[in-house]
């Protein structure tokens, strides 16, 4: 009998990703620390960036796409007068479009910031993970190849000045999925005439998860070294249904659970009229995501196989994948 690689552990870790570490590297480190059989992140942060990187373990990985679709919030520092190949401090410095353009003051910023609020169009940067003819744009960019990119609509719900100190401008933004902060900063610098790039970026919200939920990677590593017990990190995991806490919930009786888990839509009294919702068994065990059909029935959309409390048994000596 083949030995299982990793253990079945389910939940969401709201990691505070450190700067200089890629999102995938952070994921792999956490996966090893937990000895988890499965893990995935919910939308990468640039290597330079810090902050909230929700990581899904086990059955929670089935919900990753819902966080990819979620709104995000960032605290950003823009460096005026500095333009780079990548749009941030990791890139090579390029000549300024107009070296004689003055650096903006707060009055100039307040005149242009309203044009970046609401629904706006962005051209995705070449240094991004978007694909063109099967290849990532950042791979092409590193080969000196630039391709035409079509503008996309994104939504900036909130854009607030925090501090302007010399050539550095700090601000907070709440935005829709698919928003490129580096592009927003570059467009801001272009509109002001001085050019700009991102000097620091910190994500402080991803869907329902907030900055105060974050756990540092160094804290995880310290707990593994010093805490008693076989699984000292498990209490830091949030339950998978927290991903969907902004969706309405619906508790099903035993008969309805049977049909839902067989993939069949069911009629549920007092169900919401439309949209997605969280499904629970009568004992409050989370089942997954359902959706209201046009005829009012509830259909399963993404079901999880979570163990009942106290029923899961780990394989002694199993190693992380």
Distance, CA of 289 to chain centre:
19
46 is catalytic: yes
Residues paired with 50 in a beta bridge: 202
Angle 66-71-77 (CA atoms, 0-180°, nearest 5)? 135
2, 231 contact by CB (below 8 A): no
Residues contacting residue 311 through CB under 8 Å, at least 6 positions apart: none
Q: Cβ(178)–Cβ(152) under 8 Å?
A: yes
What is the radius of gyration, based on Cα positions, of the chain? 23
Distance CA 321, CA 303 (A): 24
Calculate the CA 14 to chain-centre distance.
10
Would you say the C-alpha torsion 70, 73, 77, 82 has a positive or negative sign? positive
Alpha-carbon span 158 to 112, nearest angstrom: 14
Residue from 76, 183, 173 nearest 121 by CA:
183
Active-site residue, selected from the candidate residues 16, 46, 187, 241: 46
User: Cα separation of 160 and 163, whole Å?
Assistant: 10
- Catalytic positions, please? 46
């Amino acid at each position: 009998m083949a030995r299982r690689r990793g253990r079945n552990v389910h939940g969401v870790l709201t990691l505070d990703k450190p700067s200089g570490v890629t999102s995938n590297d952070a994921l792999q480190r956490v996966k090893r620390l937990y000895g988890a059989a499965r893990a995935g992140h919910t939308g990468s942060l640039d290597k330079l960036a810090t902050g909230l990187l929700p990581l899904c373990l086990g059955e929670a990985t089935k919900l990753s796409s819902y966080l990819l679709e979620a709104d995000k919030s960032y605290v950003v520092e823009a460096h005026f007068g500095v333009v780079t190949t990548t749009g941030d401090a990791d890139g090579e410095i390029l000549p300024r479009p107009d070296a004689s353009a003055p650096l903006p003051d707060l009055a100039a910023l307040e005149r242009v910031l309203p044009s970046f609020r609401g629904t706006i169009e962005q051209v995705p940067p070449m240094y991004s993970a978007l694909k063109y003819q099967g290849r990532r744009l950042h791979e092409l960019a590193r080969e000196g190849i630039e391709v035409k990119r079509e503008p996309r609509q994104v939504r900036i719900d909130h854009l607030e000045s925090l501090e302007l100190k010399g050539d550095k401008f700090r601000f907070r933004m709440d935005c829709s999925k698919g928003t490129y902060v580096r592009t927003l900063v570059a467009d801001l610098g272009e509109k002001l005439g001085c050019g700009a790039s991102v000097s620091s970026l910190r994500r402080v919200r991803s869907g329902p998860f907030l900055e105060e939920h974050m756990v540092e990677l160094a804290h995880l590593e310290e707990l593994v070294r010093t805490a008693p017990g076989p699984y000292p990190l498990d209490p830091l995991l949030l339950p998978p249904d927290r991903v969907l806490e902004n969706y309405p919930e619906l508790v099903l009786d035993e008969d309805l659970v049977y049909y839902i888990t067989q993939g069949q839509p069911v009629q549920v009294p007092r169900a919401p009229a439309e949209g997605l919702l969280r499904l629970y068994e009568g004992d409050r065990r989370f089942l997954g995501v359902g959706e209201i059909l046009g005829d009012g029935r509830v259909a399963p959309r993404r079901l999880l196989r979570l163990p009942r409390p106290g029923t899961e048994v780990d394989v002694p000596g199993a190693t992380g994948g």
